Amino acid sequence: LAQQIFEQVLAGKRITITAGPTREEIDPVRYLSNHSSGKMGYALAIAAQELGATVTLISGPVNLLPPAKIKTISVSSAQQMHDAVMQTTHDCDIFIGCAAVADYRVQQKTNQKIKKSDSELTLTFIKNPDILSDVAHLANAPFTLGFAAETQNLREYALGKLQRKKLNMIAANDVSDSTIGFNSEQNALSVFWSKGEKKLDVADKQLLARQLMRLVAQRYTEDTN
């Protein structure tokens, strides 16, 4: 059906997409995470498949069914997501980092449950690897699209990430507006690349994902020809 409706502009292309939150364990019963639902990443995976791509979806813990006929790899922590990505990206054409990866993990995960005591509790966090940046800095880097979740200075921060992480494109969303983005059905995006930008207005995530994937396909085709 998809083949009849969507022009197969990504036929023969391999796309890896990260989606959802990561979960950083503190002790055997507790973890640190965020409100990402995974919907945008899953919608992008479906949109890429509709355009003919072979998709690998690497997903943190979400309440979504794996999309039909899409190879979905489930991971939990940022480190696990990093490992899974590095194993699959060596032969991919396009990489999309849509996951809300935890920037930090606890320095020392305890093997036993932390017991309540009379004193305050202090945890030390250390930085997780930046999955997207590591992919974009590979010698044989695929075409990369990143996301930027911002509560202020959207454009400036997004352009900073585009440059610092050496990305081809970045899609920024304003997460200070709780009616769109994180954990909601709808989203709106400002997409930036080195020579241009495009606003994708508030829409259902599946519709927005289709618009974004068409834009990615366009930019990818122009950049690689």
Only one of the segments 97-105, 138-146, 169-177, 206-214 lies at the binding site for Ca ion (rule: CB under 5 A); that segment is 97-105
- In this chain, which of 7, 103, 204, 222 binds Ca ion, going by CB under 5 A? 103
Please report whether residue 164 would count as binding Ca ion according to CB under 5 A.
no
Is residue 175 involved in binding ligand CTP (CB under 6 A)?
no
Instruction: Give the number of residues in contact with ligand CTP, rule: CB under 6 A.
Output: 15
Chosen residue from 48, 57, 75, 101 binding ligand CTP by CB under 6 A: 101
> Nearer to ligand CTP by C-beta: 62 or 149?
149
DSSP for the chain reads -HHHHS--TTTT-EEEEEESB--EEEETTEEE-----SHHHHHHHHHHHHTT-EEEEEE-S-SSPPPTT-EEEE--SHHHHHHHHHHHGGG-SEEEE-SB--SEEESS--SSPPPP-SS-----EEEPP-HHHHHHTSTTPPEEEEEEEESS-HHHHHHHHHHHTT-SEEEEEETT-TTSSTTSSEEEEEEEETTEEEEEEEEEHHHHHHHHHHHHHHHHHHHH-
216 sits near ligand CTP (criterion: CB under 6 A): no
Residues 148-167 that bind ligand CTP (CB under 6 A): 148-149, 161
Tokens for 95? Answer: 């990489």
Please tell me whether residue 50 binds ligand CTP under the rule CB under 6 A. no
CB of 171 to ligand CTP, least distance (A): 8
The one-letter amino acid code at 12 reads G
Listed ranges 46-54, 123-131, 188-196, 198-206: which one lies at the site for ligand CTP (CB under 6 A): 123-131
Q: Which does 24 bind (CB under 5 to 8 A by kind): ligand CTP, Ca ion, none?
A: none
Binding segment (CB under 6 A) for ligand CTP, from list 44-52, 55-63, 93-101, 180-188: 93-101
